[in-house]
Structure 1
Amino acid sequence: MTGDVRTEDGCRLWADQAGVGAPLVLCHGGPGMWDYLGPVARLLDRHARVIRWDQRGCGRSERRGPYSIGRFVADLDAVRERLAGPRTAVLGHSWGAHLALRYAIDHPERVSHLIYVSGTGIDPDRGWHPHYERNLRRRLGPHLDRWEALGARDRTPAEDRERAVLQWSADFADPDDAVRHAEEMATPWLGVNSDCNRAINAEVKQELRIRDLVARCRTLDLPVLIIDGPEDIRPRWGVDSLEKALPNCQRVSLPGSGHLPWVENPHGFRRAVTTFLDARREPASGT
C-alpha cells in the first residue's frame, strides 16, 4: 500500500508498506538516493509490517530541503508517527544505518529494535574512506577506466546512471553477477540528489568530530543487531567502536556478501533479522 506522509513543515514524503506483524521502518542509504529496499521488504513481509520511504529530496519524495541530519531524523519520526505507531523497529542500510542510529539515540522510547546494516561506524580517528577508495578501484577492475572517464566530465542523465551502475557493481562480492545486481538497483533510475549527498556527508563527518557519539551509544539501552557483509569494500573494522559502545548488541557477518548482504545471502539475512526480532520482542500483554 503506497501513500504519502506530510512532515510538519509540509514536505511530501513517498512511503509504502506491506506485510503483517509488528512495524519495521526501513531507511535507505545514499545520501541522495531513493528507496531500493523492496527486496528486503519482500524477504520480511511475512514477519513484519515493513514500511519504506524516500528521504526528503530523493526519489519519489518532494525535491526540497533543508538537507540535514536533524531534519532527516524529524522526517523519520513523521513516518513512524503516521505509519508505524508509538514504537517501531528500525532498519537502516549504509548512510541509512547512521540515520537509524541517530534516530534511536534521539528517541529511544520510540524504537523497539535497531538493525544496523553495512554502516560505516562512529570512529572519527580511524577513517574508512581511503580504504574504500582503494578497494573500489581494485574491484572495478576492467570498468575502472570508463568509471574515471565519466567522472571527469559533465554527464547526461544516461551517463549518470551508467557511472552509478559501475560504482555500485563494486558493492557486490561476485564479479559475475555484480553489474546485473547494480542494474537492478538503478531500475527505475530516479536520479541522485547531489546537493543532498554533499550536505549530509559533510555534516556526518563534522558530527563524528565534534559530538561524542560513543558516549551516547553507551546509554542506548535497546537491542541492536549489526549485520555486515565480509566482502564489503568499506572496511568492517570501522564499525568495531560502535559495537563495543553499545550495551545490548549482537553482530552477524553473512558469508559471500558485500555491501548489500540481502542480495547475495538472502536466506542468511532473513534468518538473522527474524531471529533477532523474535528473540527480542516483548511478550504480549497478559502473557
Structure 2
Amino acid sequence: MGICADDGQRLWAVERGAGAPVVCCHGGPGLWDMFEDVTLPGRVIRWDQRGCGRSAPGGPYSLARTVDDLDAVRRAFGLERMALFGHSWGAQVALRYALDHPERVTELVYVSGVGLGGSWHAEFLENFLARLGADRPRWEELRTRERTPDEDRELAVLQWTTDFADTSRAREHAEGMATPWFEVNYECNAAIAAEEPRVWREPELVAECRALTVPVLLVDGAADIRPRRAVDSLAAALPSVDRVVLPGVGHVPWLEAPREFYAAVSGFLTRTT
C-alpha cells in the first residue's frame, strides 16, 4: 500500500492480521522494514521510513520528520490509537512519538533501543570491532572505498553479523536480514546521526519520560554489543515499565530467541489491551 505523508512524500506500508493495531518502526536510520518474520498479536502494520526500502526516494530526513511520517501512517490506516513496536533506531522513533502524542499510543514495545543518552557509542565501537574478528580487514577495505551494489550488501552483512551472540549462525541471520536487499540510505543515516546531540538530550528526555503514562515493555538481549546500561536511565524514568533481558541474545532477539521473545511481547500486548 502506498500512502502519502503530509508533504506528499510516498511511503510504503502493509498490514496483516486483525484485532488491536500494532504499528512497527524499523531500525536504521537508512534501512527498511525487516519484520516479515516477527510474529505479533493483532492487526500488524509495517512501513518503510522516508527515502528507504520500498518508500519513494528523497528527504528531508530528521527525527521530527520521521515522527510526523509515523503519524501519517496512523491516519492512513484510520487509527485513533495504536500500540507501537520499535526496534533499535525504530525504538527511539516510537519513544519520541509516544512522548509527543501519548493520547494516540496504547502500549510501547521498545526492543534493543539505545536509551536516552549518547555515552554508549565508544563502548559499542569497541565491542563491534571485537566481534568482527577475522572479518575486520575485509570490512575495513570495503568501508573506505567506492563499492559495487554487491559489495554494499556484503559490507552490510559483515556489519550485521556482529548483532548476533551465536557466531555459528550469525552469517545466516545477517544474510536473511539482507534478503530482499534494498540500498542503504547513507544520506538519511548521516543527517539523523548529525542531529542526535541536539535533539536527543538525556536530561530533557528523563523529565519527559517521567510524565509518560503509556505502558512500556523494554526488551534487551543481554549480549547486545550496544551496552545495555545505556537503557538503565530510561527504565528508571518510566513510571509504567516492564523489562525483559534475554540471556545469550544479541541485537535481534526475535531471530535468536523467537519463543521467548514472542512470549514476552505477546504477553505484554494482550495483558494491557
Measured against the shorter chain, the TM-score band is over 0.9
Does the residue aligned with 1:212 lie in a helix, a strand or coil?
helix
Question: Stretches of 4+ moved more than 3 A in 1?
Answer: none
- Superposition RMSD in Å: 1.1
Q: Distance in 2 between matches of 1:92 and 1:20?
A: 19
How has the CA–CA distance of structure 1 residues 113 and 14 changed in structure 2, closer, same or farther, with 3 Å as cutoff? same
Q: Distance in 1 between matches of 2:106 and 2:49?
A: 21
Does the residue aligned with 2:155 lie in a helix, a strand or coil?
helix
Shift of 1:205: 2.7
Does the residue aligned with 1:275 lie in a helix, a strand or coil?
helix
Contact 2:12/2:47 (8 A) holds in 1: yes
Provide the residue aligned with 1:267 in structure 2.
Answer: 259
Match among 207, 221, 234 for residue 199 of structure 2? 207
Q: Distance in 2 between matches of 1:210 and 1:173?
A: 28
Provide the residue aligned with 1:30 in structure 2.
Answer: 28
Contact 2:91/2:112 (8 A) holds in 1: yes
Provide the residue aligned with 2:97 in structure 1.
Answer: 103
Provide the residue aligned with 1:186 in structure 2.
Answer: 178
Q: Distance in 1 between matches of 2:148 and 2:115?
A: 34
Once the two structures are superposed, what CA deviation does each residue of 1:252-278 show, in whole Å capped at 9, x if it has no partner?
Answer: 011221000000000011100111012
**Is 2:148 aligned against 1:150?**
no
Q: Distance in 2 between matches of 1:277 and 1:52?
A: 17
Does the residue aligned with 1:52 lie in a helix, a strand or coil?
strand
How has the CA–CA distance of structure 1 residues 114 and 277 changed in structure 2, closer, same or farther, with 3 Å as cutoff? same
Contact 1:232/1:258 (8 A) holds in 2: yes
Match among 209, 212, 218 for residue 220 of structure 1? 212
What amino acid sits opposite 1:72 in the alignment? T
TM-score when normalising by structure 1:
0.93
**Which aligned pairs between 1:1-287 and structure 2 lie closer than 5 A?**
3-40=1-38, 43-44=39-40, 47-83=41-77, 85-124=79-118, 127-209=119-201, 212-281=204-273
Contact 2:82/2:106 (8 A) holds in 1: yes
Contact 1:30/1:95 (8 A) holds in 2: yes
Contact 1:24/1:84 (8 A) holds in 2: no
What amino acid sits opposite 2:99 in the alignment? I
Q: Distance in 2 between matches of 1:245 and 1:123?
A: 13
Q: Distance in 2 between matches of 1:253 and 1:10?
A: 40
Which shifted more, 179-188 or 79-88? 79-88
Report % sequence identity.
Answer: 57
What amino acid sits opposite 2:74 in the alignment? R
Contact 2:23/2:45 (8 A) holds in 1: yes
Q: Distance in 1 between matches of 2:78 and 2:243?
A: 26
Contact 1:6/1:13 (8 A) holds in 2: yes
Contact 1:118/1:229 (8 A) holds in 2: yes
Gaps of 5+ in 1: 282-287
Q: Distance in 2 between matches of 1:165 and 1:78?
A: 31
Shift of 1:144: 1.0
Provide the residue aligned with 1:284 in structure 2.
Answer: none
TM-score when normalising by structure 2:
0.98
Gaps of 5+ in 2: none
Shift of 1:211: 6.7
